[in-house]
A = this chain, B = another copy of it.
Amino acid sequence: MQSLTTRQQEILDLIRRFITETGYPPTRADINRALGFRSPNAAESHLRALERKGALQLTPGSSRGIRLLDEEPVTESHQGLPIIGQVAAGSPILAEEHVRGHCHAAADMFSPRADYLLAVRGMSMRDAGILDGDLLAVHRTREARNGQIVVARLQDEVTVKRFRRDGHRVWLQAENPEFRTLELDLRRDPLDIEGLGVGLIRNGTPL
């Protein structure tokens, strides 16, 4: 949609208001009355301009034949949170090819806000109640404090672990005695914190 002039935006807003108030779109005369125009052509030419710019669609010959073409830009809040599946080495976590779908969940159901849902593989966080297949709600941030559950990227893989740090040493602890804790040295080992686990969504019940 091309950019609108202030007057055109004003008219578009009026139409929107009119529809929510009355339940049907305004006629040219309604628009004129509302804005104080004296010629039926005033509204008409504005509508034509708005149609040219793709803001609305007119149905010729039809009374009140105005349809708003809002199609609000598709953001998370509209198609839901992206669900991230297997993350390939080296590519950003939110890359298109990792998005396995969308979940119509409120991002602000969690606090801090969730930015995406990561499908967890494996049972390494079992004792923290995070099972294989669960969707971990992740808040994007690079800051992590001791004891928090983080989404970390180390050279080739993206993993969910409990974070602990002391100076340049970092421990990524699994919550399952069958898995061992990773010990890293920030001076040699690459480590990126991709985000913080802020919640969990499970679909169905485990066996």
Interface pair A202/B129, CB less than 8 Å apart: yes
Interface pair B63/A64, CB less than 8 Å apart: yes
Interface pair A197/B203, CB less than 8 Å apart: no
This protein's copies in its complex: 2
Inter-chain CA distance A205–B24, complex, in Å, is 45
Stretch at the interface among A1-9, A45-53, A85-93, A100-108: A100-108
What distance in Å separates the Cβ of A18 from its nearest Cβ neighbour in chain B?
11
Q: Which size class do A's interface residues fall under?
A: 35 or more
Interface pair B199/A148, CB less than 8 Å apart: no
Q: Tell me if A32 counts as interface (CB < 8 A to partner B).
A: no
Interface pair B110/A204, CB less than 8 Å apart: yes
Contacts of A27 in B (CB 8 A): 63
Please report A residues at the B interface, Cβ cutoff 8 Å.
22-25, 27, 57, 59, 62-68, 80, 103-106, 108-111, 126, 128-131, 134, 147-149, 197-207
User: Which of B68, B106, B129, B198 is the one whose CB lies under 8 Å from A104?
Assistant: B106
Contacts of A67 in B (CB 8 A): 22-24
Contacts of A147 in B (CB 8 A): 207
Inter-chain CA distance A129–B125, complex, in Å, is 10
Query: Can you offer 18 A-B residue contacts whose CB atoms are under 8 A?
Result: A23-B67, A23-B68, A24-B59, A24-B64, A24-B67, A63-B64, A64-B64, A103-B109, A104-B106, A104-B108, A111-B203, A126-B129, A128-B206, A129-B130, A129-B131, A198-B204, A200-B200, A201-B202
Inter-chain CA distance A30–B108, complex, in Å, is 41
Inter-chain CA distance A128–B133, complex, in Å, is 13
Interface pair B59/A22, CB less than 8 Å apart: yes
Which 7 A-B residue pairs are closest in the complex by CB-CB distance? A23-B67, A200-B202, A63-B63, A104-B106, A129-B131, A149-B205, A129-B129
